[in-house]
Structure 1
Amino acid sequence: MRKNLFLLEELQQLDLKIDGCNGERQSLLDQMAELDRQVEEARLLVDAKRGELALLEEEKQGLEASLATEEENIARSEVRQKEIKTQKEYQAVAKEISAARKLKGELEEQILQKTGQAEELAAEITAREADLASLEENMGTRKGEIQEGLGRIDRELAADLVSKETTTKAIPANLVKRYQALREKRQGIAVVEAREGNCSGCNMNLPPQLFNSLYRSENLVLCPHCQRMLLLRQDVQ
């Protein structure tokens, strides 16, 4: 049993190392996903601003078309005004011209506002495009580093999985099954040392008779408190 316990401890060290590699691997994958998210968010923001600018330009063009129409109306009314014979008709046309000129002024003001807004938005888009380009460049560098890290981890995992398979085959299947069940229940730690009368897994005192039975190494001994497998290093005791 002692030999099997040492093999289980070796298996546990491999499992813990594999757990750590998988955790590190997932962390790198999460970092890569976050980089993609940041770039996509920046790209969507630039696209949204471009959409705003296109809408502004469309509104501005509509105002300019309305302005051109009013200018034509004014010009026609001014020509017609020169041909009018009666005072009443003259005043009516003059009133039309005045209203058209007022609307023209309002349209010009609105066009000026739209022009200013478009210029500000265009400047913002230029700045955000520069930020996006910088982010994409930095992301490319960081992704390269992450890929290198993933490659290293994958190589380590491949070697550890081979070692795990070899070690597992050297242990009775029923013992491996029990070890795996304990690992799931005890945060990955199924085999612990018994030291100075205590379980190093839960730090509880072990009954003297149980502790003494570890020296015989005949049967599997579990901690009565945490149920972990107890291993005694006699050269240390």
Structure 2
Amino acid sequence: MKKNLETLYELQEIDLKLDGIEGVRNSLLAEIDTLDQKVAEARQELLAREESCASLDAEKEGLEVTLATEAENIARSEARLKEIKTQKEYLAVSKEITAARKMKTELEEQLLQKISLADELKGEIAERKSNLDALEGNIAAQKAEVQVKVDALERDITVDQTSRDEKMKTLPPAVVKRYAQLRKMRRGLAVVEARDGSCLGCNINLPPQLYNTLFRGDELITCPHCQRMVVYRQPQQG
């Protein structure tokens, strides 16, 4: 039984170490996700501006078509003036030409605004593309550094997991089951030491007879207060 108790304590140490390693690993993986998110957001912002630019270009093309149509209408109306014989008809066509010229001027102003906005947006897009390229390069380097750490942690996990599995095989199934249950119930701490008559899991004094049984190490004892498995370990010399 003493061997099982010592194995349980060693198993606990491995599991606590694995918990810590997993926590660091998960934190690093979350850091990688955050870096990826930064790139994704930058790409999305660039895409939004490219879509806006494409929309502006489409509006420009529409204005150019409308301008060309108005110019043709004005040219036809001006040609008609030469053939008109009545004053009334002449005034009506002249009025049409004046309205068409006003519309043409407004369309030209709108077109100039679109061109200005498109040029400004294209300049911003070029800058964002350059920034994105730099960001991707920088983040790729950061991710590579983090991944090296993750890989090292995963190697440690593999080694410790192998040691854990070997120790688990030497313990009775009922003890392993109880250990696993306590780990879930007690936030990962299933096995604790008894020292100076107290359970180090809950810091409450153990009954003297129970402590004597622990000292002998001939059976598995649980703390009557926190229900954790309690072991007595000889103080390290020196």
TM over 0.5: yes
Alignment of 1:35-184 (within 5 A): 35-184=35-184
Letter in 2 for 1:124: E
Find the residue that maps to 1:233 and give its secondary structure.
coil
Unmatched segments (≥5 aa) in structure 1: none
Query: What is the deviation of 1:49?
Result: 1.2
Letter in 2 for 1:63: L
Find the residue that maps to 1:25 and give its secondary structure.
helix
Query: What is the deviation of 1:191?
Result: 0.9
Q: TM-score, normalised by structure 2?
A: 0.92
Unmatched segments (≥5 aa) in structure 2: none
Q: Which residue of 1 aligns with 2:188?
A: 188
Query: What is the deviation of 1:218?
Result: 1.9
Alignment of 1:216-227 (within 5 A): 216-227=216-227
Q: Could you tell me the percent identity over the aligned residues?
A: 54
Query: What is the deviation of 1:206?
Result: 1.8
Q: Distance in 1 between matches of 2:147 and 2:217?
A: 47
- Greater alpha carbon shift after TM alignment, 211-220 vs 179-188: 211-220
Find the residue that maps to 1:83 and give its secondary structure.
coil
Query: What is the deviation of 1:230?
Result: 1.1
Query: What is the deviation of 1:123?
Result: 1.9
Query: What is the deviation of 1:214?
Result: 1.8
Query: What is the deviation of 1:145?
Result: 1.1
Q: Distance in 2 between matches of 1:137 and 1:210?
A: 63
Compute the RMSD of aligned alpha carbons.
1.7
1:12 aligns to 2:12 (yes or no): yes
- Greater alpha carbon shift after TM alignment, 18-27 vs 137-146: 18-27
Letter in 1 for 2:5: L
Structure 1 moving runs of 4+ over 6 Å:
none
Letter in 2 for 1:150: V
Q: Which residue of 2 aligns with 1:26?
A: 26
Q: Distance in 1 between matches of 2:91 and 2:190?
A: 103
Q: Distance in 1 between matches of 2:172 and 2:51?
A: 67
Q: TM-score, normalised by structure 1?
A: 0.92
Letter in 2 for 1:122: K
Closer, same or farther in 2 for the Cα pair 1:163/1:96, shift >3 Å? same
Find the residue that maps to 1:192 and give its secondary structure.
strand
Q: Distance in 1 between matches of 2:202 and 2:127?
A: 58
Query: What is the deviation of 1:137?
Result: 0.6
User: How many residues are aligned here?
Assistant: 236
